[in-house]
Structure 1
């Protein structure tokens, strides 16, 4: 199979992109965590240790782990790549002409690893030591950010997601996450692992304003056999689903997209927080949200290359079973009584990462859901998540598969 190809949710996982948070968490404070889309500040050392354990579990099970900051530093060896990124993040409109020149010069003086850390982790006025005669600079406090931290880079699934023979570099819904896409576009365009390689870029216009057509990878499940499941959640719009579907159909990478309507709430930020595939016919789900009456559409392309969206009659699980060519789905609910289930869903019990059919990685704290999974014949590999889990993302959110087998 191709090295850059994701053919399913549950086939053998070969290669994955992660991001170990450090500087961005240091810059996360009680006064800014809500703006940066976190629910609390995290212990930096503990979060890092938990992420290290996540990496270890993956490598022990034959998965090649790539780290975002390392990959960006390698990308910046190319002067063209460095210029491309800085052109899109440092400009006169954002900083004013005088300060923009000083910030640009400072960033260009950094080593490639330090530049990668700065762009993902943030930069304050005091850290840079700016001294230009700029009105903008004169109104800033030493602790104000010249470059905002991006702690949500931790969730590499959302910014880009590989679907069969290509990658969707997603237009993000929230302003705090939009710069993430710049970094991933640079990575896939300039890094030696991806440059001049044979893969499709589904949303290829890097400077396009996609307006209301937003989509995030946590809502995208590659079911396999030419099918894709997408949730329309707090972050993914019908317009985004249509844009991605058209690209998938026109490039021949998919034949059908199943779209699910989801609540627009923090607890159901993405589809994979309430519904995730663990084996060919087995899914974990949160019953309070994934009900039989969940609205569902099937998108296809007709002979005139026009999208057709048809509302599914009956339960959405029947449409998924049909796409997977199985009689019915095995559904494993979030565990415990109503209170325990709500807590475990909040702590990403349903957000599991399959590393091969029937083998998943999840947070050890969700004991009731783990029990349900094991009773259903799923092998569960656990990782600590006391700190990482407070970012509202589990093993699937924190991973971007780049190479995975078909089913």
Structure 2
């Protein structure tokens, strides 16, 4: 499986601007990171500092991840559907000395406790390949070593695209600070993205935001989790920017328990199609934890109105122009709901309307999907069936099972491992046809 090659970078004229009109629209392009040598540096001694509960078998994790990428490539059907962030970073460093210097300067300024300023000049003299390796692993011939960035495989948290703008993360933990710098330098200096630098939204100092907390529920409504990783100040800053720059009219700050099991909104709520949501049921219960603060823009520039909503289901029914079907992660029993939420049963990734990927181990969630008209197939079977032909989104609903035995030990599902930068709506006549 370790044979997928990075797609060539098209010219700037061929590349698309950011475009996410809503969740579950047909994927065009996604940024991922297949686990590599940085993951080999997670040890029993440092795993907690690096936010890992376990140590992954990296060879198997890579195979599982590359299989996921192959599914995306088949569904999207274009040669540059999947962009590997390590390739983007190397290409950024190759494009200009300015990019390498900007990365090193941001690194030294953002992590003063690591004393990287002592080797700043040496880092600036690194070749693009040497600096890429240092960025990912923290390893070099210098006297000072830095931590690796194994969480980079969760590219969702690096940023979030809303319409034609991209919001950069402010990592909530020191272990992920370098990831924020990596995506920042790529978006500002890579030839593919630099022409759209005016579409980058950078948040003010002192707030924290990670992309797993943001979902574009509709062209005018965004959901943002108020979680252990995303602060209320960040949500207010994002709401202000979206009201000023985009057609977004409603921002819902969804309250989450501030704990690891619910670290982001997409650990309890993801779209399978525009009308279907995989949800951890307590989020929607009257006495659950999912109350929402509703932000709308005021007439006066730079101000907005807020009101509290005690139940997320009710406010979604009010704001969205369609009825939602809520499919319970783990089925109907609370024990199984909690078990499968823990193993990312609610964290599915929609590569097209009604074409989703999730971890095979969440069997009760898949059974509920079957009851809602989804055909259940393994990733291997899906690729084998469409080996000599095209996949046509919308002709049926399909839930693709990714083995994920090793990837799931990293505590993040398929949505966590994907940063879509472009989607588009399928033609209205291409509604899923069921089994």
Q: Residue 103 of structure 2 corresponds to which residue in structure 1?
A: 85
Q: Against the structure 1 CA distance between its residues 100 and 251, is the aligned structure 2 distance closer, same or farther, given a 3 Å change threshold?
A: closer
What is the TM-score of this pair, normalised by structure 2? 0.82
Q: Residue 139 of structure 1 corresponds to which residue in structure 2?
A: none
The 5 Å alignment of 1:368-407 reads 368-378=364-374, 379-406=398-425
Q: Give ranges in structure 1 of 5+ residues lacking alignment.
A: 131-144
- Between the aligned partners of 2:198 and 2:366, the Cα distance in structure 1 is 36
Which of 295, 306, 311 is equivalent to 1:309? 306
Q: Residue 216 of structure 1 corresponds to which residue in structure 2?
A: 210
Q: Is the 8 A contact 1:22 1:121 kept in 2?
A: no
Deviations 1:99-150 (A, max 9, x none): 745464256334x234223212222xxx5263xxxxxxxxxxxxxx712111
Deviation at residue 376 of structure 1 after TM alignment: 1.2
Q: Residue 273 of structure 2 corresponds to which residue in structure 1?
A: 279
Determine whether 1:291 maps to 2:285.
Answer: yes
Q: Is the 8 A contact 1:219 1:270 kept in 2?
A: yes
Deviation at residue 90 of structure 1 after TM alignment: 3.5
Deviation at residue 335 of structure 1 after TM alignment: 2.1
- Between the aligned partners of 1:391 and 1:342, the Cα distance in structure 2 is 18
Deviation at residue 68 of structure 1 after TM alignment: 0.4
The 5 Å alignment of 1:1-400 reads 3-62=17-76, 64-77=81-94, 78-90=96-108, 93-94=112-113, 100-102=117-119, 104-105=121-122, 108-110=125-127, 112-123=128-139, 128=141, 130=143, 146-197=145-196, 200-203=199-202, 210-211=205-206, 213-293=207-287, 294-305=290-301, 306-312=303-309, 315-326=311-322, 328-336=323-331, 337-378=333-374, 379-400=398-419
Deviations 1:315-363 (A, max 9, x none): 311222333212x321100124433322211110110011111111111
- Between the aligned partners of 1:280 and 1:95, the Cα distance in structure 2 is 45
Q: Against the structure 1 CA distance between its residues 106 and 234, is the aligned structure 2 distance closer, same or farther, given a 3 Å change threshold?
A: closer
- Between the aligned partners of 1:95 and 1:28, the Cα distance in structure 2 is 18
Q: Against the structure 1 CA distance between its residues 195 and 322, is the aligned structure 2 distance closer, same or farther, given a 3 Å change threshold?
A: same
Report the number of matched residues. Answer: 380
Q: Give ranges in structure 2 of 5+ residues lacking alignment.
A: 1-14, 375-397, 427-435
What is the TM-score of this pair, normalised by structure 1? 0.88
RMSD of aligned C-alpha atoms?
A: 2.1
Deviation at residue 199 of structure 1 after TM alignment: 5.2
Q: Against the structure 1 CA distance between its residues 103 and 247, is the aligned structure 2 distance closer, same or farther, given a 3 Å change threshold?
A: closer
